[in-house]
């Protein structure tokens, strides 16, 4: 499926690392309906591809990971057709958040609106030292609609999220690091190598254990501690039972 998309580039390496590049550099990779459809397709393909062990999301061009929703489309097509509506109802963000593989966002330049929201759907965020993060939705009389009002406070805490959201204050990569919005800030030329090293480390672990660990953390965050501990135990048993079962099956096959 390499490069079958109008707004994305999809690549997969032999070591099981997939790259999704937002590819509308002339519009600072703004998120439009076509990108939503492309993302939906690529995320489904990743979800169903066991060869993919880790995914890196990045933006093409010098200036931005993503400058938010496409304002031209937003301003010129306020009343979508029925067909568009159907596509609009695709739950891209639910799909994004439910992917079993670890997702890494490599963020440079402007990371605005849906750009931050995409990054927040990822498990690990690396920023370059030229990055700028902001939620300009208030200025347009709207609120984030790709999960940002939920994922941002869960990541950086309520008051910091409120400040970013309600005042439209943009923050630098360094400040994003202090807010714990990103895991690391690196020089621009180190952004992809850092993301790639991290993806390689993940890809070198047991893939099933990696998926179970991601599920335990993400599902557990919505639970009380005691429920979370029960979830962890259930996943641990499922993982190890599955292994014992595989061992038994293996022995049986060899002995037969």
Chain positions contacting ligand COA, by CB under 6 A: 27-28, 30, 67-72, 110, 112-113, 136-137, 140
3-state SS class at 91: coil
DSSP string, 171-235: EEHHHHHHTTSSSEEE-GGGHHHHHHHHHHHHHTS-HHHHHHHHHHHHHHTTS-HHHHHHHHHHH
Annotated active-site residue 117? The verdict is: yes
For 18, phi then psi, to 5°, come to -105, 145
Contact of 202 with 13, CB cutoff 8 Å = no
Contact of 165 with 152, CB cutoff 8 Å = yes
**Token digits for 112?**
């605005």
Q: Closest CB to ligand COA belongs to which residue?
A: 68
CA distance 176 to 178: 5
Identify the residue whose tokens are 């330049």.
109
- Minimum distance of ligand COA from residue 187's CB (angstroms): 21
Report the run of H or E that residue 126 belongs to, with start and end. strand 124-128
For strand 184-186 and strand 124-128, is the pairing parallel, antiparallel, or unpaired?
parallel
CA distance 21 to 56: 8
Task: Name residues whose C-beta falls within 8 Å of residue 70's C-beta, 6 or more positions apart in sequence.
Answer: 27, 30, 31, 32, 35
Please identify which of the residues 117, 232, 246, 255 carries the catalytic annotation: 117
Q: Which C-beta is closer to ligand COA: that of 25 or that of 153?
A: 25
Q: Which active-site residues does the annotation give?
A: 117, 137
């Amino acid at each position: 499926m390499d490069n079958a998309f109008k707004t994305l580039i999809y690549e997969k390496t032999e070591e099981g690392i997939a790259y999704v590049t937002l590819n509308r550099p002339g519009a600072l990779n703004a998120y439009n309906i076509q990108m939503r459809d492309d993302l939906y397709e690529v995320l489904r393909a990743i979800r169903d591809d066991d060869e993919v062990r880790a995914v890196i999301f990045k933006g093409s061009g010098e200036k931005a990971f993503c400058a938010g929703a496409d304002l031209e489309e937003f301003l010129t097509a306020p009343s979508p057709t029925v067909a568009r509506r159907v596509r609009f109802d695709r739950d891209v963000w639910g799909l994004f958040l439910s992917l079993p593989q670890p997702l890494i966002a490599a963020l440079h330049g402007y990371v605005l609106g849906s750009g931050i929201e995409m990054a927040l759907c990822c498990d690990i965020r690396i920023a370059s030292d030229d990055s700028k993060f902001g939620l300009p939705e208030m200025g347009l009389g709207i609120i984030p609609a790709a999960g940002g009002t939920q994922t941002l406070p869960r990541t950086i805490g309520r008051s910091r999220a409120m400040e970013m959201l309600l005042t439209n204050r943009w923050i630098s990569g360094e400040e994003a690091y202090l807010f714990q919005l990103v895991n690391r800030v690196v020089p621009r030329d180190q952004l992809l190598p850092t993301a790639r090293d991290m993806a390689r480390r993940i890809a070198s672990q047991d893939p099933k254990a990696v998926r179970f660990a991601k599920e335990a953390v993400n599902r557990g965050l919505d639970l009380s501690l005691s429920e979370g501990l029960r979830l962890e135990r259930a996943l641990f048993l499922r993982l190890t039972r599955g292994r014992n079962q595989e061992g038994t099956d293996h022995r049986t096959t060899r002995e037969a």
